[in-house]
Amino acid sequence: MKSPSTWLDARLLRELLLTASFALLSGGPQASAAAIKPQPFFGDWEATQLLVPSGVSNAQRSMNADDANVIGNKYSFQRNSVTRILGSDECTLDTSLARHRFSVKALFAGSGLPRPQLVQRRFDQRAEHYALGALAREPITVYAYRCKDQDTRLNSMGNWFAVSKEAIIWPQAPDALVLLKRAPSKPTVAQVASCGHVTLAADRVICADRELWLMRTYTEAVRQCAISNAPPALANLGELLDSYVAKRNKCESDRECIVYTLQEHVGVLAQRVPSTADCLASVRK
């Protein structure tokens, strides 16, 4: 029977061999950009999951796993750029810097695996502290992007993201990992069902845009739960939330006005009210 240390050494060796195999398959560190076939990740993606470390007593303050300021955000990845659909970030994507594939575990400092060159800063925790599931076994390719205004760049962990077969992995400070999945090309069943009888101009604008619809659905789904669990300082939370709905309706067909009002509404629920994870059963279907 192997000792614990021998078993750990064997597991680390397997991970190192996995990373080395990915590198060799792609031509190694000296492979030319022409030899790299970029993965077909161009198009629209949305944030569907926010992974935060669990079981780590000395971890930095994590983002909430149900953070509505992140979940549902939509991004457009093109051959030379990546932009937030409802944001102002404008960044240049450099696919030529992708050289070879890595194990997902190479993104974590505690893995013992070589750090991808484009990853300026790895996650401090171990991969085992994140619910990666099948993603932990997928090879990834790391890409670089640069934003015009560093004060508004899409994250503060460094200008990189990783692409696997089914997801885009995006670091968020201080220790959260955002997973992006392909944005639906058509309205979902839930979206169609909830928008079948809208009459207000603002609701028609919202129903035509999945990201806006997700934001509105979130505000509706967590309203009563948030009011019931609001701290004493927010005793008038119900009135405040109602005022955002009234303000949004007054926007009529002004999309910019609707976006701004929804972002304010979501911000109140996501930042000033304790985690609403138990309230989200009907959201983001």
How do residues 158-168 score in pLDDT, each as one tens digit? Answer: 788 999 988 99
Averaged pLDDT, 224-234: 81
**Is residue 82 located within the same domain as residue 205?**
no
Count of domains for the chain = 2
For residue 6, give both structure tokens.
């021998």
Looking at the domain assignment, is residue 285 inside a domain?
Answer: no
3-class secondary structure, 189? helix
Q: What is the mean pLDDT of residues 234-242?
A: 89
Does 119 share its domain with 28?
Answer: yes
What is the pLDDT, as a whole number, of residue 240? 92
Stretch among 143-147, 188-192, 199-203, 250-254 having the lowest mean pLDDT: 143-147
Whether residues 62 and 15 share a domain: the answer is yes
- What is the widest separation between alpha-carbon atoms in the chain? 71
Judged by DSSP in three states, 19 sits in helix
Say if residue 232 is in the same domain as residue 126. no
> What domain range includes position 79?
4-182
- Does 262 score more than 70 pLDDT? yes
Stated as kind and residue range, the H or E segment containing 224 is helix 223-228
Report CA-CA distances (Å) from 2 to 7, 15, 111. Answer: 6, 18, 21
Together in a domain, 88 and 59: yes
Task: Using the predicted structure, report yes or no on whether residue 67 has a pLDDT greater than 70.
Answer: yes
Cα–Cα distance list, 212 to 142, 153, 193 (Å) = 30, 22, 16
* pLDDT exceeds cutoff 80 at 35: no
Residue 37: band (very low, low, confident or very high) from pLDDT cuts 50, 70, 90: low
234 lies in the same domain as 166: no
Q: Which of 141, 162, 182 is the last residue of a domain?
A: 182
Q: Return the half-sphere exposure (C-beta side, CA atoms, 13 A cut-off) of residue 222.
A: 29
| Domain termination residue (choose one: 182, 197, 221) | 182
- When mean pLDDT is compared across 108-117, 132-141, 143-152, the lowest value belongs to 143-152
Whether residue 285 has pLDDT greater than 80:
no
* 25 and 162 within one domain: yes
pTM: 0.71
Residue 40 has a pLDDT of 77
How far, rounded to the nearest angstrom, does the alpha carbon of residue 62 sit from its chain's CA centroid? 14
